[in-house]
Amino acid sequence: MILKALYDYYQRKLADPNSHIAPEGWELKAIPYRIVINKEGGFVAVEDMREGEGKNKRAKQFLVPQSVKRTVGKNANLLWDNIEYALGANPRDRDDVEERFNLFKEKIKREINIEEFMNVKYLINFLDNNPVRQIEVSGYSELWNKILEENPFIVFKIEGENHASICDEITKATGFDSQNEFEGVCLITGNKSNISRVHPSIKGVRGGNTQGGALLSFNLPPFNSYGKKQNYNSPIS
């Protein structure tokens, strides 16, 4: 079974300390900019995290919670995203930016105990106090205008803390995947665990869609059975 072979391969890579593979529920993401805030929730700096020179500049890799599947609907990533979701900026003159920004904040509050992770609490304070305005009146107008043109992914850092981003603070926390809605027996492991209704798209497959392909796909009602929809037809944790 191909999926079982892939699962076994991942477990071998995970056990190898030199593989630098992302742990389950996380991914290494190229993110070009980082917002630095202080422990009062105030803006400090915008940092260009791209490495290299000229056209060879590449965004730095950050370990972040796994990205959500986002095609037509709205869904925020946890603790990182583009500036529409993560800051409430509106570079494309959208009429739903406030909704996107609220989804980003609500996801943090729902999936992380902010009283346990104080650095996340500082971030919430920043997000609740007009972050775009704080950046606009700072001395980073030139870089901020460039960011508005790109609408890139960003991460957050607390000033003075020894971490690449706030995400590093919660790598041992659990419960990030709100797509897991019920327990079932996983077809791969044979263990009872949370079953994912939707799996993240897989990118980088030769000949595949540039937007990524589905690990499993049940995209029409005739393919559903016994009232089960999407990946609940083939339960995989």
Q: Is the pLDDT of residue 124 over 70?
A: yes
pLDDT above 90 (res 194):
no
DSSP 81-144: EEHHHHH---TT--S-HHHHHHHHHHHHHHHS-TTT-HHHHHHHHHHTS-HHHHHHTTT-HHHH
pTM, full prediction = 0.81
| Structure-token pair, residue 224 | 């559903």
pLDDT single digits (tens) 218-237: 778 888 777 787 788 888 88
pLDDT for residue 178: 47
| Least trusted range by pLDDT, from 101-105, 176-180, 211-215 | 176-180
